[in-house]
Amino acid sequence: MGAVEFWVPGVPQPQGSKTAFVVKGRAVIVDKNPKLLKPWRAAVTAAAREAWQGRGQLAGAVSVCLQFRIERPVSVRREFPSVRPDLDKYVRAVLDGITDAGCWVDDGQVTDLQASKDYEDRAGVLVRVLSLDEGEGVGQ
């Protein structure tokens, strides 16, 4: 399988910070930003499914490259978005969205990961997925 590349437009959302509380004696743990995270993950999942059409699910090692594009606020002059949200939390949301799309068995298969966040005029993430184990797909 060759590399699969796709663009997900929209403002990237972080995943990772959780809030815990008790309801009727049971612990409940939820993401801190569910109203923004849920539609972002759904957009990632939809874009991954569309790009993945006709390909089998990956079962072996995978390489992933993620290029996050963040719109620069008018008042910001720094060259790079070296502020929160953390890059690893952006990554977590995208990898989980790809897992939800069924492109691979689990994001634990990612053995090579390259990620960056830069200021651009158009917000979103460019995703590139490459199987490192040719012929290891399920259902190919």
pLDDT tens, residue by residue, 28-54: 777 777 899 999 999 999 999 999 999
pLDDT of 83 reads: 94
Per cent of the chain over pLDDT 90 is 79
The model's pLDDT over 63-75, given as tens digits with 9 standing for 90+, comes to 999 999 999 999 9
pLDDT of 60 reads: 93
Average pLDDT over residues 114-120: 98
Work out whether strand 124-131 and strand 62-70 pair parallel, antiparallel, or are unpaired.
Answer: antiparallel
- Report the amino acid identity of residue 48: A
Residues 6+ apart with CB under 8 A from 140: 1, 55, 56
Whether 11 shows a pLDDT value over 50: the answer reads yes
Comparing CA positions, the residue from 84, 109, 89 lying closest to residue 40 is 89
Q: What is the CATH number of domain 4-131?
A: 3.30.1330.70
Average pLDDT over residues 86-107: 97
**What pTM was computed for the model?**
0.88
pLDDT band for position 135 (50/70/90)? low
The model's pLDDT over 17-30, given as tens digits with 9 standing for 90+, comes to 777 788 899 887 77
